[in-house]
Structure 1
Amino acid sequence: MKPTILFTTLIVMAGLNAPHESLAADAERRAQVAQRGAQVMPFSLKATTHIFSKSDDGGSQRVIAKNPSDGVQIRLIREHLREIQAHFQRGDFSGPARTHGPDMPGLAQLEAAKPGQISIAYKDIKSGGQITYRSDDPKLVSSLHAWFDAQLSDHGADAVDGQMHHHAGMPQP
């Protein structure tokens, strides 16, 4: 085989394998995040859904039990979200750092925010809980959105984009 044909063949074959390698890396990362998340989150990731909804001034993070009659998961969700809300208000984002890694997109900027730059409010919702994040600082809003996107990617099928599933029967606050 001529060197140019061999080289072209190798490039094409490498390109065909790249998506498979990327999918395997994504699956491996999701498995690692799920394993670390089980040490941080008291509820079952598989028994819950994380819903991230962006807004012009921040967004909301809802966690709901997949089975609306699962009182144990609902209680654990609410306890955890109340706890992390208190941590986040103090600038302590160590939970997401332990779950997703310290280089998680948006995380360093959220940790560096001054008290009061981000409003972080919790409320009970049907089948779970919700944390709402708001900021007047466009850079912090961008950081929140990047942080949401990273969580959507890392949690895979156990997380959904709230805008995309707004009309798909997901409980609304």
Structure 2
Amino acid sequence: MKMMADSQRQAEVAGRGKDVMPFSLAATTHIFTKNVRGGIQQVVVKKPTDAGQVKMTRQHLQEIRDQFLKGDFSGPSHIHGQDMPGLADLKASKPGQIAIDYKEVKGGAQLTYTTSDVSLVAALHKWFDAQLSDHGKDALEGHALHDGMK
């Protein structure tokens, strides 16, 4: 029963994702790697030679970085719902409490979230877990061997 509920939720999230994400969810993999100061969110195209999807992925991550730095989490709210775990705490954070760095990677891009506030680290981790669950087969949990942030 839980698997059916999970599958239904994932289908609903994918449907709403089209309103926010310009790229194809099925053509990309979202990788969420937690670390002691936040984490890394990567979106990479399954076929890195698909230049159009790579371009849209990179543009989207740049746009959401800018929105998040302004406290605008309307994209995740629309896709995942207002009660998405961790989202309320992220929305309540003050400008500058979370640094978000953008970087291009092979076949896509990544955002690195860094904060010294332990409650915001916990919120980021809950937010990552919710996305892993909601994106199903199109998401992976990353494993940092050493993030250099002790």
The higher-RCO structure (CA 8 Å, 6+ apart) is 2
TM-score with structure 2 setting the length: 0.95
Q: Residue 18 of structure 2: which of 33, 38, 60 is its match?
A: 38
One-letter code aligned to 2:115 = S
Deviation at 1:129, TM superposition (A): 0.5
Listed as ranges, the gaps of 5+ residues in structure 1 are 1-20, 167-173
One-letter code aligned to 1:69 = T
Q: 2:14 and 2:47 mapped to 1: Cα distance?
A: 20
Partner of 2:114: 134
One-letter code aligned to 1:142 = A
One-letter code aligned to 2:50 = D
Q: Residue 76 of structure 1: which of 36, 53, 56 is its match?
A: 56
Deviation at 1:68, TM superposition (A): 1.1
Partner of 1:22: 2
One-letter code aligned to 1:51 = I
Partner of 1:155: 135
Count of aligned residue pairs for this structure pair: 145
Deviation at 1:123, TM superposition (A): 1.1
One-letter code aligned to 2:47 = N
One-letter code aligned to 2:68 = F
Structure 1 consecutive aligned stretches of length 4 or more whose deviation exceeds 6 Å: none
Matching of residue 94 in structure 1 with residue 74 in structure 2: yes
Deviation at 1:132, TM superposition (A): 0.5
Q: 2:136 and 2:143 mapped to 1: Cα distance?
A: 16
One-letter code aligned to 1:79 = Q
Matched residues, percent identical?
Answer: 57
Listed as ranges, the gaps of 5+ residues in structure 2 are 146-150
Query: What do residues 120-141 of structure 1 show as CA deviations (whole Å, max 9, x unaligned)?
Result: 1111111000000000000000
Task: Give the alignment's Cα RMSD to 1 decimal.
Answer: 1.0
Q: 1:152 and 1:117 mapped to 2: Cα distance?
A: 24
Deviation at 1:23, TM superposition (A): 1.1
Partner of 1:110: 90
Query: What do residues 119-163 of structure 1 show as CA deviations (whole Å, max 9, x unaligned)?
Result: 011111110000000000000000000000000000000000011
